[in-house]
Amino acid sequence: MSVTLTQTQIIQSLGEALSWFERERAWGVPAAELRHLTGRIGELFAAMITRGQMALETNQRGYDVVGADGARVSVKTVTSRHPVRFRESTLAQVDRVMVLLLAEDPDKGLTIEELIDEALATITPRLGPLRNGDRALNLPQATPEKLGHALAVTDTASFDGFVITRFENGSIKVEANGQEVKPAKPTLRQLAARLGVAIDTPAGAAKNTQQLGNHIIKAINAAGTE
């Protein structure tokens, strides 16, 4: 029996999966051993930005997500820019290819970067020769300047001229009098001190920008402070 998730449920599940991944990494588990989580994170992210659904069958052959337009999407999620491989026997079942990079930054935390989001027809000429039933695709090394879609806002709060915004991929933006503040973390730490928000986790580690921004937004909204 297939389960249809709302966009809200998909976004919530993505946030939970990202938090679990960060928790495992904080415990010292290598990213390479968290493939079950990275794969799920990528599928949820793809379902979110395509406004689609996860594939209906467990271990669906060829594709992982069906977009709102009906396109069958093969999702590959990596933690480094190594080549990804596609099974030749199932490529005919794919309409669109997405390759996502989970990048870890000590300040920003975990982010999701779209390395590739293209129709299979444009990807096929770049696939390597057939080897053991697979064809490899080399990933771009340069970081794109911007994502190919607009991220939805999931939460926001205002305090003393500052606006803190949280987006659907967990990223945080801080604005002061209409201008974005970069880097955001020093300002967030100052706001945390004024609002009584802890800047460290219960384990004693410094919160990253995503964690700190999220907790500040919750504190402001809980207090009803403007």
Tokens of 175: 């604005």
* Euclidean distance between CA atoms 188 and 78, whole angstroms: 30
For residues 198-211, average pLDDT: 82
User: Residue ranges of the alpha helices (H) in the chain?
Assistant: 7-26, 35-49, 120-123, 185-195, 209-223
Q: Which DSSP letter does residue 33 get?
A: G
pTM confidence score? 0.66
What pLDDT digit, counting tens, does each position of 77-135 carry? 998 888 999 999 999 999 999 999 988 776 666 788 888 999 999 999 999 999 999 99
pLDDT of residue 145: 44
**Do 106 and 116 touch, CB atoms closer than 8 A?**
no
For 224, the enclosing helix (H) or strand (E) is none
Q: Which residues are bridge partners to 109 per DSSP?
A: 105
- Averaged pLDDT score across all residues of the chain: 84
DSSP 43-100: HHHHHHHTT-EE-SSTT-SS-SEE-TT--EEEEEEESS---EEEEGGGGGG-SEEEEE
